[in-house]
Structure 1
Amino acid sequence: CSCLVVGQHRISRPLLLLAAVTAALEMGIRVSFFTPTQIQSLPVFLQKSGPSLSPESLKRITFSYPRTLEELLQQVAGLHESPIPPSLIIVDRLEDFLSGSAGSGHVGLHSAERLSAAHLSALLCDTSAFLTRVLQQKGSSSFPCCLIASFLSKEDSQLDSRDSSTSDPILDVVDRYFQVRCTLDQDRSYEAAAASAQEAWHLYLSGGDPACDDRPSVGQEWKLLVYA
């Protein structure tokens, strides 16, 4: 199972951290969380969880801070050698690793970035599938090794528009490797303001197989209200 979260980082990163903490705390599974920027603290809504957010449960989450695409590739490949494999792989800000990854050579800039995007996406999906088999063989977990990554397209970073993300050629490449896309779109309507929330977001799920009970069907939508 794999999901690509597309949208602004101010909401996508808290959602990724929520997924990591929920997996570690409520499901008791190990999580590998990769991000290019240091996480100084958990979001306020997670800090308010109180006693349920124990230090012992947070030990199930391994945070890694690769600075380059090459470092991320090496660290993801190294998950094969983990004595206790993770059941959830999370990659924050996928586009940060891919920007400027073209290097030098005869291949054009955009072509090289698309190749890097395909290489990284394929490695992430292959690693998830491999670790699922390892977990099943060891009998250490009944859960498959799932994959969640976030991506902010260049158009989204400027326009904050849900429809604009489809024109990003790098996103188009990455999107093909993930089973489900979760698109984050801020709701600036009067109804959202009337709810007295600090922010309101639409979460659109697309992709998956409607015939499978364990995968979201096309067109599911939720509304997320963020209170101060």
Structure 2
Amino acid sequence: MADVLTHMFANMSQADSKKDLVVTPPAPSQCSVLIVGEQSLRRSLLLLTAVTAASQMGIRVVFFAPEQIQSLPASLQKCIPKLSPESLKKIRFCYPRTVEELLQQIAGLHESNNTFPTPPSLVIVDRLEDFLCGPACDRYSGCHPGEQSCAAHVAALLCDTATFLTSVLKQQAPTSSPCRIIASYKSQEDGGDSSVSDPVLDALDRYFEVRCTLHQDRSYKATEAGQQEVWHIYFSGTGITHEPCTTDSQVKLALAQEWQLLMFPDGLMEFKLV
């Protein structure tokens, strides 16, 4: 399962249930996650995941985004009010403008200056659609025309980079966890018409073992109080396996394929295991 995401969800779950949630290490084939859904929420989750990984798990993070992040979202500041500047130093933000620059910078993670003294253990790509669904994609000479080909090219390079960085991490510390890849994408299917097929998403799904889908609950029951937004977070894909666990709480989290997110007006986010 996506251990970095579930670690963050568990850490920000209801206080009375935190002690019962245990995140188990991921299998090597369970390290790439594609977050699909609403743009601002995707970015908040990615930034929250990056900060959680750096501050609580102590790992290096590389965060690719199509435009500069001027400030941290209010939700993140609310959820992690005592964020250490030292933790942020473990996160390197990169801002490629085109898919060509994105590919070059991802490939650059193989270089020794990016793996010494410690390679990144988490690579995040925000808003893949901005790189894949525009004229810049067709201008890249190494990528066949068409968004689907660009998607496959970027995803394949991400997977290859994760494999390379994992080998470096294992050389430095045999017991270290593999490098994880998390990317976000807004699908054409998000418009609400289930009959619309998104070939780019189909291509990405062939490379990302786990899809994390965000869906807002607009039912009367969810909104009658008027004090929060309610979102459902669904995990699916070939990377979800039911690994053996030693306690009931581990089984509960290992099998968790749905979470609920409450977003309050003051920016606070609270996760619940469904």
TM-score (norm 1): 0.88
Counterpart CA distance in 2 for 1:16 and 1:104 is 27
Counterpart CA distance in 2 for 1:204 and 1:115 is 27
- Is 2:206 the partner of 1:172? no
- Is 2:27 the partner of 1:5? no
Report deviation, 1:195: 4.6
Q: AA paired with 2:162?
A: S
8 Å contact kept, 1:122–1:177: yes
8 Å contact kept, 1:162–1:184: no
Q: Secondary structure at the match of 1:133?
A: helix
Q: Which is further off, 63-72 or 184-193?
A: 184-193
Query: Residue deviations 1:21-55, cap 9 Å, x none?
Result: 0000000000000000211111213213222x111
Residue 50 (structure 1) aligned to one of 65, 81, 85:
81
Report deviation, 1:163: 4.1
- Is 2:138 the partner of 1:102? yes
Counterpart CA distance in 2 for 1:129 and 1:192 is 42
- In the superposition, relative to structure 1, how do residues 170 and 57 fare at CA in structure 2: closer, same or farther (>3 Å)? same
Residue 88 (structure 1) aligned to one of 115, 118, 122:
122
Query: Residue deviations 1:122-141, cap 9 Å, x none?
Result: 00011011101101101297
What is aligned with 1:223?
A: 260
Unaligned runs of 5+ in 1: none
Counterpart CA distance in 2 for 1:219 and 1:195 is 27
Residue 200 (structure 1) aligned to one of 214, 230, 245:
230
Residue 156 (structure 2) aligned to one of 103, 113, 122:
122
- Is 2:167 the partner of 1:137? no
Counterpart CA distance in 2 for 1:139 and 1:104 is 37
Q: Which is further off, 96-105 or 146-155?
A: 96-105
Report deviation, 1:64: 0.4
What is aligned with 1:151?
A: 185
What is aligned with 1:113?
A: 147
Report deviation, 1:202: 0.8
Q: What is the alpha-carbon root mean square deviation over aligned residues?
A: 2.5
How many residue pairs match? The answer is 219
Counterpart CA distance in 1 for 2:132 and 2:244 is 34
Q: Secondary structure at the match of 1:5?
A: strand
Identity %: 59
8 Å contact kept, 2:60–2:121: yes
Report deviation, 1:102: 2.2
What is aligned with 2:26?
A: none
Q: Secondary structure at the match of 1:50?
A: coil
Which of structure 1's runs of 4+ aligned residues deviate more than 6 A? 216-219
Q: Which is further off, 204-213 or 142-151?
A: 204-213
Q: AA paired with 1:102?
A: D
